[in-house]
Amino acid sequence: MAYFFGAGMATDAFLTAFRIPNLLRDMFAEGALSAAFIPVFKEKLVNQTRDEAFKLADIVITAILLGVGLIVLLGIVASPAIVYISAKGFSAIPEKFGLTVSLTRVMFAYLLLVSLSALVMGMLNSFGKFGIPALSPALFNLGIIGTVSLFYHLFDQPVYTLAIGVLIGGAAQLMIQLPPLLRIGYRFKPAFNFLDEGMKKVINLLMPMIVGLSAGRVNILLNTLLASFLMQGSISFLSYAYRLMHFPLGVFAVALGTVALPTVSELVARRDTEGLKRTFDQAVGLNLFVVVPSAVCLAMLGREIVNLIFAWGAFSEADAANTSLALLHYSYGLVGFAAVRVTVPFYYAFGDSRLPMKASIASVLVNMALYYPLIQILDFAGLAAATSIAGLLNFVILLYFLPSRGIKFSVGRIGLNLFRVSLASILAIYVGRLIPLDFYRGGSMVLTRLEQLLVPLVIAGLLYILFCILMGVDEVRVIYRRLFGKTAGD
C-alpha cells in the first residue's frame, strides 16, 4: 500500500472506509463474540458432550448469519451518513468523501466473513488446534497483496484493488479453516433456538463486552474524525505506524491471549486455583519479556524500520518522518495494549465481562480528555500519544482488580521484571546502535537500509539475552527449557 499509494488522499480514504467494518469486527469477531463464545463452548466440551457444544455453535452461527448479515446491508445503505459522522473533515473535499463512501460499501461484507472466521477459530482453538487458525489472517493479507499487485493497472481508481482484496482475503481466511473444522466432526445445521441456555450465557457475556468495546470503538472513530481535520495524510501516518506497532502485538500478545482463553476457561471449569496463578505469572512474564524490547526497538529504531518497510515508490521522505513520529508515540502504548490482551481472558474465563468493560470505558474517557492538549503539542502524533497512555491505564485498572477474582500475584515481582527487561532492552539497543555501519559499501539502497536496521538489531538481540541472563530474568531459563530440555516440572 505504501509503495503504490504513499500517504495521501487515496490511502486516507481507504483506511477510513476500512476502519468502519473493522471496528464492528472487534465486536462481532475476534473481540466480544469470540471471547463470549469460547468459555461457554469450552465448558460444554469439558462438562457435557461434544454434541451439546456443536449445537451451541449451530445457534451462534445462525445468529451471525442473520444479525451480522442485516448489519452489512444497513451499513451499505447508510455509508454516506456513516462516513460523514466518522470523517466530517473529508466533506470539504467532495472527491475524497465520495471515494471513501464507495470503498466503504465495497468492504462492508468483510464484516460477515471475519465474524464467521473468528467463530470457527474459537472452535478449533477449543479443540487444541492453533496452527491453521493462526495462519488464517496471513491469507487475508495475501489476498490484499495479490489483488493490488495483479490488478493495480486495470482500474481508473487503483485504490479499489485494496477494497476488493479485503473481500478476497476475508473469504480465504474463512475457507482455510473449514477442512480442520470438518475433521473435528462439525457439520453446520441452521438452528433458531435463540432461547437456549448456552446461547443466553453467550449473550450475557457478550453485551457488557460490546458496551466496553463500543467505548473503545467510539474513541477510534473520534480519533479518525479529528485526524480528518489535520494535515493531509494524517490518517495514513497514524495507520502505518499502528501497523508496525501491531506487529509484535499480533504475533506475541494476541497469540498468548488466544491460547490463554481456552486454557484458563478449562482451569476455571476444573476449579484449579493454583493452575490459574501459575498460568497468569507465565503469561505476563513471557509477555513482558517479548513485548518490552519490541516497544523499545520501535522507539529507538523507528526511522530505520519505516525506511526499510515503507519508504519506497510513492512513499516520500516526509511521509517516513511523520510515520516515525507517530510510531514513537505508539511504542510505549504497546506494553499496555499487549498486557491487556493477556489479562482480559482471565476475567472472561470467570464469566466476568463487566470489569473489563468498565476499565475500557475509563481508559477511553482519559484518552478523550488527552486529545486536545496533546494535539496542540504534537499535532497528529498527539492522537497516538493519547491512545498509548490510555492503553497503559487500562492494564493498570485490570491488574488492580484481578486479585478480587481469585488470582493472586506479586506486584513487586511484575514491577521488578518490567524494570529488568526495560533496562536490558534500552542498554542492548543503545549499544547496538553504536556499532559502525560500514560492513556493506555497495550502492544498493535495499542492502544499505537492511544493514542500518539489521546490524544493530541482531547485536541488540544477542545483548538483550545476555543482559537478561545477568539480571536473572526467569523467562530466559523457561524458554530455553521449553526449546531444548523440556521436563515434566516446567
Query: Which tens digit of pLDDT belongs to each residue from 87-136?
Result: 998 998 999 999 999 999 999 999 999 999 989 988 998 888 888 988 98
In angstroms, the Cα distances linking 468 to 83, 290, 420, 451 are: 48, 12, 7, 25
- CA 152-118-209 angle, 5° bins: 115
Least confident of 263-277, 317-331, 346-360: 263-277
Confidence of residue 438 (pLDDT cuts 50, 70, 90): low
Three-state SS string over 425-478 comes to HHHHHHHHHHCCCCCCCCCCHHHHHHHHHHHHHHHHHHHHHHHHHHHCCHHHHH
Higher pLDDT, 487 or 175: 175
- Percent of the chain past pLDDT 90, that is, above it, reads 49
Do 11 and 98 contact (CB within 8 A), yes or no? Answer: no
With a cut of 70, say whether residue 391 has pLDDT above it: yes
Average pLDDT over residues 432-451: 74
With a cut of 90, say whether residue 208 has pLDDT above it: no
Q: What is the pLDDT of residues 141-153, one digit of tens each?
A: 999 999 999 999 9
Q: What is the pLDDT of residues 402-418, one digit of tens each?
A: 888 777 787 888 889 99
Chain position carrying cell 477510513: 16
**C-alpha span between 165 and 160 (Å, rounded):** 8
Least confident of 30-34, 232-236, 397-401: 30-34
Do 372 and 384 contact (CB within 8 A), yes or no? Answer: no
Q: What is the pLDDT of residues 467-482, one digit of tens each?
A: 999 998 888 887 887 7
Do 143 and 163 contact (CB within 8 A), yes or no? Answer: no
